[in-house]
Amino acid sequence: MAKMYGKVYLKDCIVPSSEGMLSIASSAVLYGLSVYTVFPVSLGSSNKLLAFRLGDHFSRLIDSAKIIGLDTFEKEWNYGLFEKAVKDLVSENSVKGDVYIRATVHATAQIAGTRSRGLDTALSMFIYDAEPILKPAGSRVKISAWRRTSDMAIPSRAKVNGAYVNSVLAKQDALDSGYDDCIFLDSLGHVCELSAANIFIVRKGVIYTPDTSSDILEGINRRSVIELLKNNLNMDVVERAIDFTELYLADEVFATGTSANIAPIVHIDGRDVADGKPGKVAKQLQRLHIDLRIGAVKGYEGWVSEV
């Protein structure tokens, strides 16, 4: 488990982590009625701490809250306030190296019943060590028996805390079976994503990734990687439905996500992917991705902001 830093942000102030608590009767606790985002803060080449696509992460909080009907957060928060809160939290914790920050909007109303509109909300944030959730040298995964929650049940485009029971069930089954993670299929049997990362396959020089109709999270890192592939590696990227047997024929498979970084998948369902080693595209992306987060990729300097 990653180490958590000692001070957290909750309800407009910074407090010791032991005091960062919500009521057991809040809608966040009772119904999982919270939305969140996670973003990296990296030590740049100029020795400054840089947050990756901070504005996009704030927008995702706004959009996720909007989708599930938490309508008070956007009225109380704007990007300027959010950015200041992030900077204050980083300063109070004396961050010196690479970390992740998880920001969550909680419905704090108590015993409000199964509704979302008009409820009081609170923003929380905490910092923890930047340890990737997948092995950079290659992970072994299985196709999950659990299906990805449909967008018609719990919206895939919103990062809703309660929805992650789906991911926990699937990943725990994979761990129990001796794998590192799982691959979800959607309700139609198409490839969706990993338990907490988007997926790409390489086949005959073309990159494929599930399109947004496949119940995927529209990942910020996914979007970034698509741009890098097209603009920096000059590769075609096709977004479409992917059948699970295509995974078995792929030249490469890799996952992307804030907490996954660029993670090669080298083994699926008892089968090696190609030669069972990380592929050329994934390794190129890994190097680019590191440089991207520290503002060292030409043309993408605006994706990082000093905190």
Smallest CA-to-CA distance from 291 within 232, 235, 237 is with: 232
Q: pTM above 0.75?
A: yes
* Amino acid type, 147: R
Q: Are residues 25 and 112 in the same domain?
A: yes
CATH classification at residue 267? 3.20.10.10
Task: Look up residue 136 and give its DSSP letter.
Answer: T
DSSP element (H, E) containing 248: helix 245-249
| Model pLDDT, residue 35 | 98
Q: Are residues 44 and 123 in the same domain?
A: yes
Looking at the predicted structure, is the pLDDT value of residue 133 above 80? yes
Q: Are residues 51 and 145 in the same domain?
A: no
Q: Are residues 157 and 256 in the same domain?
A: yes
Q: Where among 108, 129, 150 does a domain terminate?
A: 129
Q: Are residues 94 and 236 in the same domain?
A: no
| Model pLDDT, residue 45 | 77
**Both tokens assigned to 175:** 């761990």
Q: Where among 68, 95, 129 does a domain terminate?
A: 129
Average pLDDT (84-110) is 97
Which residues span the domain enclosing 74?
7-129
Looking at the predicted structure, is the pLDDT value of residue 237 above 80? yes
> What percentage of residues in the chain have a pLDDT greater than 90?
97
Average pLDDT (24-47) is 95
Q: Are residues 145 and 248 in the same domain?
A: yes
| Model pLDDT, residue 186 | 97
| Model pLDDT, residue 102 | 98
* Amino acid type, 150: S
Q: Are residues 279 and 150 in the same domain?
A: yes
| Model pLDDT, residue 165 | 98
**Both tokens assigned to 151:** 């967008």
Residue 277 within a domain: yes
Q: Are residues 167 and 286 in the same domain?
A: yes
Rounded to whole angstroms, how far apart are CA atoms 285 and 291?
A: 10
Q: Are residues 215 and 105 in the same domain?
A: no
Residue 76 within a domain: yes
Q: How many structural domains are present in the chain?
A: 2
Do β-strands 34-43 and 206-209 pair in parallel, antiparallel, or remain unpaired? unpaired
Q: Are residues 143 and 125 in the same domain?
A: no
State pLDDT tens for residues 136-188. 999 999 999 999 999 999 999 999 999 999 999 999 999 999 999 999 999 99
Mean confidence (pLDDT) of the chain? 96
| Model pLDDT, residue 1 | 73
Q: How many residues in total does the chain contain?
A: 307
Q: Which residues of 227-238 are buried (b: 16+ CB within 10 A; e: fewer)?
A: ebbeebeebebe
| Model pLDDT, residue 304 | 96
State pLDDT tens for residues 196-217. 999 999 999 999 999 999 999 9
CB 77 within 8 A of CB 15: no
| Model pLDDT, residue 47 | 87
Q: Where among 97, 129, 161 does a domain terminate?
A: 129
Rounded to whole angstroms, how far apart are CA atoms 6 and 40?
A: 18
Q: Are residues 210 and 146 in the same domain?
A: yes
Confidence bin at 279 (pLDDT 50/70/90): very high
Confidence bin at 27 (pLDDT 50/70/90): very high
Residue 33 within a domain: yes
